[in-house]
Amino acid sequence: MTYKNKIFNENCLDGAIKIPEKAIDLIIADPPYCLGKDYGNNSDKMQSEEYLRWTYKWLDIFIPKLKEDGSLYIFLSWRYSPEIFTYIKKKMLMINEIIWDRRVPSMGGSTRKFSSVHDNIGFFVNSKNYYFNLDKIRIPYDEEVKKARTRTIFIGKKWLELGYNPKDLWSISRIHRQEKERENHPTQKPLEIIDRLILASCPDNGIVLDPFLGSGTTIISAIKNNVNYCGFEINEKYFENIEKRIKNNSNMFNFNNFEIECSL
């Protein structure tokens, strides 16, 4: 497979032809939010109607790439999530809307509205027979909580031993500039979040596709968690940074099973 474990420095709309239909287990998409951010191009500076048309276009192209039991996670802001979620629901089953609380510190904030401190993550699947492994993403209870729940009715319960479901409200700090994980990208997502998505929704030896690689976190997470990957990044500078990030992390994760091929 010429697309497996490769990343492409091109517009995902042009490169999508490289990916066969029904070949992908999981799509993680973090597209521009239409907030006017600078990604080295005008991709985040469209007018509303143009932005929605563009979004529907890439969704129409990439949703057919998913297997019958495949899943899609899409990051959005509250501004356009209602329209886009409604559109996707015409093609897929919606399982969750996950609210990511970015833990933005209280420092004054907006004076004419409530400050926005969250992102919306839509979780969609192709069929009711979708892959989902809760055990890989359970959050362990501490010993104090375990001790408080030692009543007879709880003894031997799987959830008590392995941990609880993360639920649909995730309070995970955004990546601050001084943090080691931080890359030169305005909307980098924390590795902790992408790890959770991949562990839950990509089977062993499965393949995850990211149409908008950005800082490359999906690739790092895929390699870290022993799944295959492919993806696109239109910005040449970001693409080069992804290559550097992979190499810089080579000592942290087991990269031996992966042939890093970056196709320009």
| First CA to last CA distance, the chain | 17
The Cα–Cα gap between 51 and 38 comes to: 15
Task: Report the domain count for the chain.
Answer: 1
The residue among 102 and 108 whose pLDDT is bigger is: 102
* CATH assignment of the domain containing 217: 3.40.50.150
Mean pLDDT within 50-73 = 98
Cα torsion through 262, 209, 66, 45, rounded to 10: -110
In the chain, what percentage of residues exceed pLDDT 70? 89
Domain range for 240: 6-134+167-263
Q: Which two tokens stand for residue 260?
A: 């890093």
**52 inside domain:** yes
Name the helix (H) or strand (E) containing 125. Answer: strand 118-125
**Bridging pattern class, strands 228-232 and 118-125:** unpaired
Q: Report how far residue 261's alpha carbon sits from residue 264's, in angstroms, rounded to the nearest whole number.
A: 10
Q: Which residue has the higher pLDDT, 163 or 106?
A: 163
Chain segment 107-142, per-residue pLDDT in tens: 777 889 999 999 999 999 999 999 999 999 999 988
For 76, phi then psi, to 5°, come to -145, 170
Q: Strands of 207-210's sheet, edge to edge?
A: 169-171, 93-101, 118-125, 66-76, 24-29, 207-210, 228-232, 6-8, 261-263
pLDDT at 188 over 70: yes
pTM, two decimal places: 0.91
